[in-house]
Amino acid sequence: MSTVLVTGGSGFLGSHAIVQLLAAGHRVRTTVRSLKREPEVRAMLKEGGAEAGDRVSFAAADLEKDEGWAEAVAGCEYVLHVASPFPAGVPENEDELIVPAREGTLRVLRAAREAGVKRVVVTSSFAAIGYGHGPRETPFDETSWTDVNGRGVGPYVKSKTLAERAAWDFVAREGGGMEMAVVNPVGVFGPVLGPDYSTSIALLQRLMDGQVPGCARLYFGLVDVRDAADLHLRAMTHPAAQGERFLAAAGDFMAMVEIAKVLKDRMGAAGRRVPARQVPDWVVRLASLRDPAVKLILPELGKRKNATNAKARRVLGWEPRSNEESIVAAAESLVRLGLVKGA
């Protein structure tokens, strides 16, 4: 089996990717910004059912610095470039997000090329596909690209789009024969392995904690983190994945109020504080004055959209779990790990 570099192994998706790579027999090296996080990551892997032992090693590397990347990728046949920060709010200068996302991706690709890596799988996002467009009835697919000049397109969406564009341009012009595939997840749900989890999971946590007065008119794509990790592994080795993008979405998008109702119906006492009612848009806008994170969602209020996973199913044989299963698995793990107040 191969040695695989996973960038951002302390993250929600990165840790699940490592668990699955180990189960498949690979050796894994993962990057963290500080080696002090190794015990935490090993605890997350154990929570995921993996006995890592000496089959996992750690390298200190920061996406904003050159140091450490040559050592991190040395001897690796594949790279899963998963690391990607999500902002807590809207930055004053959009370059605070755009530049690190783009340059960090290029930094990993250059190091991989120099090390003779066979294929890199880059974690992009639905943010690079389904934003900046007018109303449409047809689902988004891998041929769609976000219009970064479109109305309401914020810094995070721009950063993901421009980083993926830069990656494709680099491989085409300077890749030296190195292969690349891209996975574009929607909101990532599913079981949490520790305190480091996705913004999507934070939404569930806030709903279950009773921290929001009600549900905004928002629509989400969902994918279970285990299935998103599985799609990365398939894209890593499948011959047909070379040079392709793959949308990671379990099924049809759901309204926020539908997600809340799943929690309320399926989580028993732990779902008692979930507000399963919709609130007017003015309430959300008022909340944004106190909570910078809420500003991220304002451009998406009331926008219905959808995406299809047909390509991943057809080309890679991918079979994701249902939306409901990933919601419940996420909620149950939050309760199990004591991350929901009073549950």
Is residue 300 within 8 Å of residue 217, measured between CB atoms?
Answer: no
For residue 96, the model assigns a pLDDT of 85
Whether residue 176 lies inside any domain: the answer is: yes
Reported in sequence order, the residue ranges of 73-114 that DSSP labels E, i.e. its strands, are 78-81
For residue 212, the model assigns a pLDDT of 85
pLDDT in tens, 26-62: 999 999 999 999 999 999 999 999 988 899 999 999 9
Least confident of 3-7, 161-165, 337-341: 337-341
For residue 149, the model assigns a pLDDT of 95
Residue 293 has pLDDT above 80, yes or no: no
Distance CA 175, CA 117 (A): 10
* Residue tagged active-site, from 160, 261, 295, 303: 160
Sign of CA dihedral 88, 263, 223, 45: positive
Tokens of 74: 């040395």
Distance CA 199, CA 88 (A): 9
Whether residue 202 lies inside any domain: the answer is: no
Distance CA 294, CA 286 (A): 10
Residue 186 has pLDDT above 90, yes or no: yes
Whether residue 108 lies inside any domain: the answer is: yes
Whether residue 296 lies inside any domain: the answer is: no
pLDDT band for position 181 (cuts 50, 70, 90): very high
Q: Which residues constitute the domain of residue 108?
A: 3-189+222-250+305-322
Pairing mode, strands 254-255 and 179-185:
unpaired
Residue 326 has pLDDT above 90, yes or no: yes
pLDDT band for position 288 (cuts 50, 70, 90): confident
* The amino acid at 272: R
Angle among Cα 324, 202, 49 to the nearest 5 degrees reads 65
pLDDT band for position 86 (cuts 50, 70, 90): low
Q: For residue 283, what are the contacts with CB-CB under 8 A and spacing of at least 6?
A: 213, 214
pLDDT in tens, 210-223: 888 899 999 999 99
For residue 81, the model assigns a pLDDT of 98
Structural domain tally of the chain?
1
CA dist 115 to 33, 63, 142, 270, 334, Å? 21, 17, 29, 49, 39
Residue 322 has pLDDT above 70, yes or no: yes
Distance CA 274, CA 209 (A): 7
Distance CA 15, CA 129 (A): 25
For residue 222, the model assigns a pLDDT of 97
pLDDT in tens, 258-277: 999 999 999 999 999 999 99
pLDDT band for position 296 (cuts 50, 70, 90): confident
Instruction: Find the CATH number of the domain harbouring 124.
Output: 3.40.50.720
For residue 199, the model assigns a pLDDT of 83
Whether residue 272 lies inside any domain: the answer is: no
Whether residue 45 lies inside any domain: the answer is: yes
For residue 30, the model assigns a pLDDT of 98
Mean pLDDT of the chain: 93
Residues 221-240 as b/e (b if ≥16 CB within 10 A, e otherwise) read bbbbbbbbbbbbbbbbbbee
Mean pLDDT of 71-91: 86
For residue 264, the model assigns a pLDDT of 95
DSSP reduced 3-state for 209: coil
pLDDT band for position 84 (cuts 50, 70, 90): confident
Q: For residue 48, what are the contacts with CB-CB under 8 A and spacing of at least 6?
A: 15, 16, 19, 191, 193
Whether residue 196 lies inside any domain: the answer is: no
Residue 64 has pLDDT above 80, yes or no: yes
pLDDT band for position 232 (cuts 50, 70, 90): very high
DSSP-assigned beta bridge partners for residue 39? none
For residue 161, the model assigns a pLDDT of 97
Distance CA 3, CA 77 (A): 6
Q: Enter the pTM of the model.
A: 0.95
For residue 200, the model assigns a pLDDT of 87
**Catalytic status, residue 160:** yes
Phi-psi region of 211 (alpha: psi -120 to 50; beta: other; left: phi over 0): alpha
User: In the chain, pLDDT over 90 holds for what percent of residues?
Assistant: 80
The DSSP secondary-structure symbol of 291 reads -
Residue 207 has pLDDT above 70, yes or no: yes
Whether residue 282 lies inside any domain: the answer is: no
